[in-house]
Amino acid sequence: MPTTPPPSPITLPDTFLWGTSTSAHQIEGNNTNSDWWRLERSAAGLIQEPSGDAADSYHRWPEDMDLLADLGFTDYRFSIEWARIEPAPGEYSRAALAHYRRMVEGALERGLRPMVTLHHFTLPHWFAERGGWRAPDAVDLFARYAQACAPVLTSGVRHVCTINEPNMVAVMVAAMDAVQDGEAFPHTGLPLPDEKTSHTLIAAHRAATAAVKKIDGDILTGWTVANQAYLAEPGAQETADAYRHPREDLFLEAARHDDWIGVQAYTSTRIGPEGPLPVPDGAERTLTGWEFRPEALGIALRHTAEVVGPTVQMIVTENGIATDDDSRRTAYLAGALGALAAAIDDGLNIGGYLHWSLLDNYEWGSYRPTFGLIAVDKDTFTRTPKPSAAALGAIGRTRLLPAAP
């Protein structure tokens, strides 16, 4: 019998972003003016291990970018650290601004298009002490910081992310309240986000967007949302919708007038009539304890498209797996990229894919979950690309995305 030829790969346009993502606190090291640095050393003992030197990327960023470019990637999303730029209220470090500007220029020199994130979870300690996102002037202070970043963003930066995963920021605020009140985290699912923080973050995003547009009206602005890829069990759609809205859709709806929306997906969450369901017995789990669900990316892309509409471009700004077995990362990527290809085939407005993460790094309390395409020796900081790095980078070099199976 004649065999059916395999489907042809998708040719990605040159404008399609193909790269990796990192965050400052997780890779730079010694972010001593941030709220997380203080939390890591607090008497409460909430954090398993401190970030310390992290991957020393504050000094080794040229090496990291060299590896990224040599592997074939064309884009790099990294964050700049508010606590370094504004270590005290209204006092801006010219040295820190110059450092991040050198990173922008270094990326461009290597053929990497930089996407700059203004806020990736960490805050200046002084801002946190004033009440953080609950402070009455939080929106104005964040907009002021965004405007102060003009020397970094002034030329060569096409994409700016204002706030990374605001839904998780609001969840963390609520979770910290629960800890202080002696309450336990839910066994499954996410805590209900703090409502005031949620709305403050939306206002801060809009204010920062306006500030960035004043710097350069051609910069494309957006923010990223942590997608849980919710799947309703039979008879549980109403429960799923009610559960999802404050944790995800509220923040997606706020992006309907943005230039782009960042889709960040790792696993999927099933919802039953009573709420989130646990991971099934026997299911494969990653080092974070999440279920191995590469198809979650397709679920997240399709749901995000339903909420934001067809005119807002989606960019996958984080997707990956925490594993010490790179063959499982390769398998995960095959499934996730198949879902990406299927979404593109179906006409969804998708403008890029940025893997999490470039490096094995500090995962908010522990170095054990390894998401990186590149391993980092904790003692020598030697970088060693994994086989998955070459495979993913080759797609950037050829601009050919394997077709959906």
Can you give the chain as a three-state secondary structure string? CCCCCCCCCEECCCCCEEEEECCHHHHCCCCCCEHHHHHHCCCCCCCCCCCCCCCCHHHHHHHHHHHHHHHCCCEEEEECCHHHHCCECCECCHHHHHHHHHHHHHHHHCCCEEEEEEECCCCEHHHHHCCHHHCCCHHHHHHHHHHHCHHHHCCCCCEEEEEECHHHHHHHHHHHHHHHCCCCCCCCCCCCCCHHHHHHHHHHHHHHHHHHHHHCCCCEEEEEEEECCEEECCCCHHHHHHHHHHHHHHHHHCCCCCCEEEEEECCCEEEECCEECCCCCCCCECCCCCECCCCHHHHHHHHHHHHHCCCCEEEEEECCCCCCCHHHHHHHHHHHHHHHHHHHHCCCCEEEEEEECCECCCCCCCCCCCCCCEEECCCCCCEEECHHHHHHHHHHHHCEECCCC
User: What average pLDDT does the segment 169-188 reach?
Assistant: 85
Do 220 and 155 meet the contact criterion of CB atoms below 8 Å apart? no
pLDDT of residue 233: 97
Backbone angles phi, psi at 141, to 5 degrees: -65, -40
Checking if the pLDDT of 241 tops 80, the result is yes
pLDDT of residue 186: 78
Domains belonging to the chain, first-starting first, are 10-401 (3.20.20.80)
pLDDT of residue 206: 98
pLDDT of residue 46: 80
Residue 8's CB is within 10 A of a number of other CB atoms, namely 9
Residue range 290-305, pLDDT digits in tens: 999 999 999 999 999 9
pLDDT of residue 188: 83
Confidence label for 1 from pLDDT (cuts 50, 70 and 90): low
The widest CA-to-CA distance across the chain, in whole angstroms, is 74
Residue range 124-170, pLDDT digits in tens: 999 999 999 999 999 999 999 999 999 999 999 999 999 999 999 99
User: What average pLDDT does the segment 251-276 reach?
Assistant: 98
Checking if the pLDDT of 248 tops 70, the result is yes
Characterise 343 by phi-psi region: left (phi > 0), alpha (psi -120 to 50), beta (else). alpha
User: What average pLDDT does the segment 206-217 reach?
Assistant: 98
Angle of CA points 89, 221, 65, to nearest 5°:
80
User: What average pLDDT does the segment 243-251 reach?
Assistant: 98
Residue range 352-381, pLDDT digits in tens: 999 999 999 999 999 999 999 999 999 999
Which residue in the block uniquely carries the two structure tokens 């002021």?
Answer: 144
The model carries a pTM of 0.97
Confidence label for 43 from pLDDT (cuts 50, 70 and 90): low
Checking if the pLDDT of 226 tops 90, the result is yes
Confidence label for 306 from pLDDT (cuts 50, 70 and 90): very high
Residue range 148-161, pLDDT digits in tens: 999 999 999 999 99
Which residue in the block uniquely carries the two structure tokens 């997780």?
Answer: 26
User: What average pLDDT does the segment 177-206 reach?
Assistant: 89
Q: What is the mean pLDDT of the chain?
A: 96
pLDDT of residue 2: 62
Confidence label for 282 from pLDDT (cuts 50, 70 and 90): very high
